[in-house]
Amino acid sequence: MTAAAAEPSRAARLLSALLYGGCSLLLVLLNKALLTAYGFPSPVFLGIGQMATTIMILYVAKLNKIIHFPDFDKRIPVKLFPLPLLYIGNHLSGLWSTSKLSLPMFTVLRKFTIPLTLLLETVILRKQHSLDIVVSVFAIVFGAIVAAGSDLAFNLEGYIFVFLNDIFTAANGVYTKQKMDPKELGKYGVLFYNACFMVIPTFLISVSTGDLQQAIEFHEWKNILFILQFLLSCLLGFLLMFATVLCSHYNSALTTAVVGAIKVCSRV
């Protein structure tokens, strides 16, 4: 196979980036509605629903030979590590930070994912970036610092969660790019086994923190509109995971991070 043949087309790169940006935008808006407008008290339970949806869709697709990924063997956890830990950290810190901060400030602070991704690509993937890219990234960071400095509704807990989310997102993107070898797990295997390995620990976290009990006792479960939005969030959670892997596959982890920052402009 020639290098040209192995190179993704411009259309594939563009469409995967648009899919990622669109899914991310819709999911943040929907999660914000569930966690603040409806007052749903259980972000961990919502994360479990999104993981369970991912597992079910991919498993059914594999059974029907729509997609392919390897069956489980004892080497898979070693091949994936540390992705499952980064995955759950990214997932839960994103939900918690969404519930603690206003959308404008959340989107500003999420831009710190970009320099972190650039740094990790350099250290882990040994990728060199041009001076133009580095200068552009630092300009984005400077703008985010200025905006954060004018935040009148400072929420320390929200800031901690969103900065953790930045770190987990950057590391998850870089390691996903590294692990996504089609001869090994491939993009579907990475998605499926990440969700499988983390859904039970996340469930235990939900039980031990009282998150599950709060979800069970939530008063809106008889509200059809709330249920539809909850189920849509679970589906969009799967689509976002898929779109993230797809965008990283056809582009770079840095491109995925930049798309994540650009798309927020439409929701601020």
Q: How far is CA 136 from CA 106, 193, 198, 261, in A?
A: 21, 36, 36, 13
Number of helices followed by number of strands (H, E) in the chain: 13, 0
Give CA torsion, residues 227, 84, 115, 133, to 10 deg: -100
Please report the pLDDT score of residue 6 as a whole number.
59
Backbone angles phi, psi at 113, to 5 degrees: -60, -35
Q: DSSP characters for 207-267?
A: HHTTHHHHHHT-TTTT-HHHHHHHHHHHHHHHHHHHHHHHHHHHS-HHHHHHHHHHGGGGT
Please report the pLDDT score of residue 230 as a whole number.
95
Question: Helix, strand, coil % (nearest 5) of the chain?
Answer: 80, 0, 20
**Do 158 and 119 meet the contact criterion of CB atoms below 8 Å apart?**
no
**Residue 121 corresponds to which tokens in the numbers above?**
């690509």
Quick: pLDDT tens for 206-262: 999 899 999 999 999 999 999 999 999 999 999 988 888 888 888 888 888 878 766
Q: What is the pTM of this model?
A: 0.76
Please report the pLDDT score of residue 228 as a whole number.
95
Give just the sign of the alpha carbon dihedral 30, 266, 108, 122.
positive
Which letter does DSSP use for residue 127 in this model?
Answer: -
Q: How far is residue 178's CA from residue 79's CA, in Å, rounded to a whole number?
A: 11
**Do 259 and 20 meet the contact criterion of CB atoms below 8 Å apart?**
yes
Length of the chain: 268
Please report the pLDDT score of residue 214 as a whole number.
94
Q: What is the pLDDT along the chain (268 residues), one digit of tens a residue?
A: 444 445 778 888 889 888 988 888 888 889 888 988 899 999 889 989 999 999 999 999 999 999 988 888 888 888 888 888 887 888 778 777 776 777 667 777 778 888 888 888 888 888 888 888 888 888 877 876 776 666 556 677 778 888 888 899 889 888 888 877 656 778 888 889 988 988 988 899 899 989 999 999 999 999 999 999 999 999 999 998 888 888 888 888 888 887 876 655 444 4
CB atoms within 10 A of CB 87: 26
Locus of tokens 């594939």: 12
Residue among 158, 236, 262, 200 nearest 44 (CA)? 200
Q: How far is residue 228's CA from residue 252's CA, in Å, rounded to a whole number?
A: 34
Please report the pLDDT score of residue 108 as a whole number.
75
Q: DSSP characters for 24-92?
A: HHHHHHHHHIIIIIS----HHHHHHHHHHHHHHHHHHHHHTTSS--PPP-TTHHHHHTTHHHHHHHHHH
